[in-house]
Each structure stands twice: as C-alpha cells, then as structure tokens.
Amino acid sequence: MIMRILGEGQYDVADAYLDQLNQLDSALQNAADADDETAFAAALSALLDAVRSLGTPLPAERITPSDLVLPDETNGLPQVQEMLSDEGLIPG
C-alpha cells in the first residue's frame, strides 16, 4: 500500500503491517474523539513514525498514486478530525 505523509513523501508499506498500523490509527481516533490534544499528538507521532520505519520511501521523482494520505505532525487536531472517517485514517 502506498501511503503519503503530507509535505514529506510516499512510503510503500507491506500489507503485513496493516494490523499494527490500524492499532495505532485506533489510538489516534480515540484521542481525536476525546478531544485530547496531548494523546492526539503522541498517537499521530507514533503512527507516522511507524509508517516511516515499516515502509520503504519512494523516490520523489517517481509519480505513483497514493492509496491513502496521512497528515504530518504540523496538522492540529481540528484538521485531522476533518480527515478521519468511521475507520480512522487507515481503512480496515
């Protein structure tokens, strides 16, 4: 799955990591639902760090459609709440 982190780039993340990423996404969703800025910032950072460490960065010159787009750490809780669906940021 190709995941884009806004302002940063794309990562190719193997499907084998989706359960792990969905757990982190659930923590992000819970923090957003609770309007807990501290927990939200920690959960977003953990999710993005996992994508960076588990995924393989794609070259910037390679143009590939992203399967999903993730906010970066500069996006605040209100902006990310607008991006969240019933399944969080990562479907599944």
37 neighbors 77 (Cβ within 8 angstroms):
yes
Question: Which spans in 1-92 are helix H?
Answer: 18-33, 37-54, 77-83
Distance CA 90, CA 69 (A): 9
Q: What is the pLDDT of residues 47-84, one digit of tens each?
A: 999 999 999 999 988 888 999 889 988 888 878 777 77
**Domain ranges for the chain:** 2-83
Q: What is the pLDDT of residues 2-37, one digit of tens each?
A: 999 998 999 999 999 999 999 999 999 999 889 999
Q: What is the pLDDT of residue 3?
A: 95
Contacts of 65 (CB under 8 A, 6+ apart): 2
Global pTM value: 0.87
**Ramachandran sector of residue 9 (left: φ over 0; alpha: ψ -120 to 50; beta: rest):** left
